[in-house]
Structures are given as C-alpha cells and as structure tokens.
Amino acid sequence: MSAPLVLDDGLQFGLGVFETIAVEGGHGVLLQAHLARLARSAAALDLGELPARGVTREAVSGYIRAHCPPHSACKLILTQENLILQNRPNPYGPERYDRGFVMDFSAVVRNDTSPLVGHKTMNYGDCILEHRAAAAAGMDERIFLNTRGQLAEATRVMQRRINDAHMAAGVTMWDPATAYIGPEVEIAPDVELLPNVMLLGKTTIGEDSVVGPDSRLTDTRVGCGCRIDETVAVEALIDDGATCGPRAYLRPAAHLCEGAKAGTHVEIKKSTIGKGSKVPHLSYIGDTTMGEGVNIGAGSITCNYDGANKHATVIEDGAFVGSDTMMVAPVTIGAGALVGAGSTITKDVTPGALALGRARQQEIEGWVAAHPIEKKK
C-alpha cells in the first residue's frame, strides 16, 4: 500500500476505480457495501479480484484503525498496477445533515452509453468542476442526469416546483401537470392558466389574464385582462384587454394594442394592430401599421413581399376592409375609408373613400344549357 506508484492506464487515462468510506470511531461506515461495489467496478474494468490485489475487509479495517482519525474518511483507489489507501477529513458532520443540503441539477449530461456508467471511476473531472460551480453558487452539490428518462423526470420535478411557487403566489392552474413554465417567466396574481400551456423564455403575464388551452408563448409580454386562446406567440407584445385566437399566430414584433383582436387562424408578423382594431378571421397581416378602430374582413391579406423585398402597409384609423381583400404593399388606406369585399388594392385609398378593385360581374343567360358538360365514364 506504500509501494511506489506505477504510471499505468489508471494514472494516465483514468482507468481506475475508487471508494470513499466514512470513518466513525475507528470503523468504516458500510465498509462491506463499499467493498462489494468496488469489486463489481473492478471486475467491469478488468482490474482483477480484490483479494488477489490485497483488498480485504481485514486489510482495509486495519488501515483505518492505524491511520484514520475518529471522524474522517478513507479513500481507496485501485488501478491496474496500483493500490492506494489514504485518509482525509470528512466535511460531512452531523451539523451538515441537520441543516440539510442545497442542490440543483447540473447542466452536464452524462453519456449513458459509456461502459463507465454506474462505476466510481477516476474519470471524475466533471464532478469536481460541477462541485466547485455549485459551491460558487452557494449550493452544496449538483445532481447529474444520465438518461433521457432521468432528464424527463428532472424536468417534471422542476416543472412541479415552479408551478407550485406560482400557485402559491396566486396563479390558478386548471391542470398543473400540463402547464410548462420556464424559470424566467413572470406571472401576476389572479392569472388563469388552462390545460396545455407552455410559457417560455422571458414571457410575462399581467393580472386577470386567461391563457389557454393549447397555447405557447415565448418571450412575449401579455398585459392585464387579456384572453389568449390556442395561440402561438413569439417575441410579441399584447396590451391590456387584447384577445388572441383560437388558433392565432403572433410572430416576432407583432403588437396588439389595448383591446385589439387577432382571431381565428390569423397570422400577424412585424405589425402594430391599433387600439380596438380587429382582425377576426383567416387573415395575414405583415409589415403593417394599423390605426385605431379598424376592422379587417375575413380572408384579407397584406401582400408585403414582392419576391425580393418586404414593403409596408398603412391602414389608418377607422378604416373598414371587406372580406377577401388583397392589399398589395406599399399601400396606404386612409382614415375612415371603406374597401369593398374581394378587392385587390394596389394604390393608396383616400380617407373616407370607397375603394373597389375587382372585375365587374357578368351574367350570360342560358349558357349552361347551351354548353352541357358530359361526365367521363
């Protein structure tokens, strides 16, 4: 045990195993269990059988009695050519256990396919670095996660912890198990989260808002008294009293002003929807500045991309855009203007004007009878 060290694969590459045994009153705590684990690890790494290497209960107990203080630790290291026994202080006294341990999860994910998994090997550098990082963060230890199943289990633990904190602060969750809330999310009291809600990034939710079901908000700010139903929002701003969905999509830089609405199957990108304005159904609004009190009919689109560049649309206060209207940017629709349904608008519309941009309807009597359509056999 005091022989000169041999520079073998254990010292050079970490192909070795170890056990750290707590010592109390001259005896190794759970010594037999430590030796049994060491024997399994030694066999897995082809380091030989313990008795043949001089590692027996009697030998280790004798070393402990001779060299280890009453409250200390005995470390046993085994490589291909080396057997090392040493004593060191034990930092874990009764007061530490009485106080409890503060831990979090390590960001380092172990390789669960490695043959070293499940063994205390000398490949221990990541553990030392994470222990130091935990100490720097005011914690005692960090927990490593090995498999995808363990990652999922840890996620559920953290999810439950975060959700419990929000509920204790006054947030209502219909089904906490289906609410996924990121650690940086801020939620005001009296917010109601329906099932299947994901709040990610630095999302904030104002009081008295209802979010869900089936909604995902990322880095989005939601004001007070909003209703968010089956909505995906990314880097969006939703002011007080605005409503989204069901099945709305707010892309980055979408801004719903106070009381505005983005309704069913509506996509908004890099646009401001003014106070009280409505985009209720089946529309795409992109690169648009919309004033207050505007109504956009179902199926309307701001055609903002010409194949090379994006262009802006301006819709001023109080304008009414009929259903199935194509607004080909760059274009401005003046305040109080009315655009007839089915129009394609390619020029600016004067405030207060009626704009129609569609083909005149024609009707030819008797055409169907004169041109019968034969069904193919």
| Catalytically annotated residues | 281
H/E stretch holding 67? helix 57-67
In the chain the first and final C-alpha atoms are separated, in Å, by: 96
Q: Are 17 and 45 in contact (CB under 8 A)?
A: yes
What is the DSSP annotation of 194-218?
A: -SSEEEETT-EE-TT-EE-SSEEEE
| CA–CA gap between residue 88 and residue 70 (Å, rounded) | 11
Q: Are 342 and 332 in contact (CB under 8 A)?
A: no
Q: Are 90 and 73 in contact (CB under 8 A)?
A: yes
H/E stretch holding 32? helix 31-44
| CA–CA gap between residue 249 and residue 244 (Å, rounded) | 9
| CA–CA gap between residue 122 and residue 180 (Å, rounded) | 38
Backbone angles phi, psi at 267, to 5 degrees: -115, 130
- Give start and end residues of each alpha helix (H) in 137-171: 148-168
